[in-house]
């Protein structure tokens, strides 16, 4: 998925810095301060990082996980700076990792009865990415899928066609991203492809509201914000436009 390997599963400092979105000097400071330790064959040899160590660091540091997801999803040009643990190239990989997420959440204190709701919301959104882009991925097929247990947040993203392009195939009267997102989350129109998408995201909205979760769902130039503490569906303008979709699920209120 990325360049500058020193050997399989081992990354040099340049590639590690690119993935984290920091410079090499920051990594050296982190190493000295014990924030994120590098590996060395000897005290004077070059620093390197194992892929597993980097994935663990990202899983525990939401700020950098979010930043990596955004760089991958929002980049105008296709980029491969994403680690394997957070990339699902097809629906089979996604479903396997979704099952693993469910197993992890089931063991979390307080989520014994609600972990299945979280995984069902994640599954609905992730499956939408695959179902509605099949054969039509603009560049990189597949999705970003990562989570942070301490922050209780899950990130999903794709570089697909986006909701507007998907829905205008059966509802050409839709004029912009805001209209498309409103339909996707609140209405079911005729035509099977639209029904599937509409029903799926309406289900997401229902679960998020009912169980006091929060959802940020961006497609194109607009973001849907669903707050379980409110009945309102807020749609705001995004600072940066995306072709595909970018989603954050916050389940800390469960």
pLDDT tens-digit map of 165-184: 999 988 899 999 999 999 99
Residues 31 and 110 in one domain: no
Per-residue pLDDT at 194 exceeds 70: no
**75 pLDDT band (50/70/90 cuts)?**
very high
Q: Is 114 helix (H, G, I), strand (E, B) or coil?
A: coil
**Does residue 80 fall inside a structural domain?**
no
**Does residue 161 fall inside a structural domain?**
yes
- CATH number assigned to the domain comprising residue 15: 1.10.1660.10
Lowest mean pLDDT among 78-92, 127-141, 143-157, 240-254: 78-92
**Does residue 74 fall inside a structural domain?**
no
User: Sheet harboring 10-12: ordered strands across?
Assistant: 5-7, 10-12, 48-50
Residues 119 and 41 in one domain: no
**Does residue 167 fall inside a structural domain?**
yes
| Residue whose token pair is 């700020």 | 63
Residue 26 corresponds to which tokens in the numbers above?
């920051």
Residues 161 and 198 in one domain: yes
Give residue 53's domain range.
5-59
Q: What is the pLDDT of residues 36-65, one digit of tens each?
A: 999 988 776 789 999 999 999 999 999 999
**Does residue 66 fall inside a structural domain?**
no
Residues 183 and 92 in one domain: yes
Per-residue pLDDT at 193 exceeds 50: no
Look at the chain and report how many structural domains it folds into.
Answer: 2
Q: Is 220 helix (H, G, I), strand (E, B) or coil?
A: strand
Asked if residue 235 lies in contact with residue 178, where contact means CB atoms within 8 angstroms, the answer is yes
- CATH number assigned to the domain comprising residue 201: 3.30.565
Residues 217 and 97 in one domain: yes
Residues 30 and 139 in one domain: no
Residues 97 and 45 in one domain: no
Lowest mean pLDDT among 144-158, 163-177, 225-239: 225-239
The predicted pLDDT at position 53 comes to 95
**Does residue 53 fall inside a structural domain?**
yes
- Nearest-10 crossing angle of helices 177-186, 192-210: 70
- Distance from C-alpha of 225 to C-alpha of 248, rounded to nearest angstrom: 10
Per-residue pLDDT at 228 exceeds 90: no
């Amino acid at each position: 998925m990325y360049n500058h390997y020193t050997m399989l599963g081992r990354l040099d400092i340049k590639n590690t810095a690119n993935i984290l979105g920091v410079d090499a000097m920051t990594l050296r400071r982190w190493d000295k301060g014990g924030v994120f330790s590098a590996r060395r064959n000897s005290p004077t040899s070059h620093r390197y990082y194992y892929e597993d160590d980097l994935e663990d660091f990202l899983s525990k540091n939401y700020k950098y996980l979010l930043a990596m997801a955004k760089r991958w999803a929002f980049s105008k040009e296709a980029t491969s700076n994403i680690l394997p643990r957070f990339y699902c190239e097809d629906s089979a990989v996604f479903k396997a990792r979704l099952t693993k997420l469910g197993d992890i959440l089931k063991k979390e204190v307080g989520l014994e009865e609600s972990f299945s709701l979280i995984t069902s919301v994640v599954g609905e959104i992730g499956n939408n990415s695959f179902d509605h882009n099949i054969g039509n991925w603009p560049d990189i097929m597949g999705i970003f899928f990562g989570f942070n247990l301490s922050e209780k947040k899950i990130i999903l993203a794709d570089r697909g066609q986006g909701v507007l392009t998907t829905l205008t195939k059966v509802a050409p009267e839709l004029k912009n991203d805001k209209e498309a997102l409103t339909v996707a989350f609140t209405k079911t129109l005729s035509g099977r492809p639209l029904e599937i998408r509409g029903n799926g995201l309406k289900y997401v909205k229902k679960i998020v509201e009912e169980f006091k979760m929060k959802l940020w769902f961006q497609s194109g130039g607009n973001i849907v914000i669903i707050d379980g503490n409110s009945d309102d569906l807020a749609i705001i303008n995004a600072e940066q436009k995306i072709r595909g979709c970018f989603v954050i699920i916050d389940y800390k209120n469960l």
